[in-house]
Amino acid sequence: QVQLVESGGGSVQAGGSLRLSCAGSGSMYSTVYMGWFRQAPGKGREGVAGITRDGGTGYSESVKGRFTISQDKAKNILYLQMNSLKPEDSAMYYCAARTRPAFSSPLLSESSYNYWGQGTQVTVSS
């Protein structure tokens, strides 16, 4: 079992920055991927960024060059540094973990993950 708790969301003006954190507990040694997803009202959940156990990363085109995913394995914390925020980045942001063998599952696919946090809200005003 893995438990994930997000923090760091809030309200910011366009062009600003936020850093999200995701604290993991439980069987974190078994994770092979960790990722950040977001969901805006009336829309589906979108993969934003993912990171493998070996540090490989992937980003959606909409955030590439603005967001950076990183992890502190010693503390079991996943981060998402978000810069140059836009109003369209407003959403609930979720942390996710995969503990099953990777088998080349897509890093930004919702179905690749089997544990989820409760989410943290990000609101970007123009």
For the chain, what is the mean pLDDT?
A: 95
Angle value at C-alpha 96, between 92 and 100, nearest 5 degrees = 160
pLDDT at residue 104 above 90?
no
Q: In this model, does residue 102 exceed pLDDT 80?
A: no
Q: Does position 46 have pLDDT exceeding 80, yes or no? A: yes
Mean pLDDT score, 83-87: 98
Strands (E) located in the chain: 2-7, 10-13, 18-26, 33-39, 46-52, 57-59, 67-72, 77-82, 91-98, 115-116, 120-125
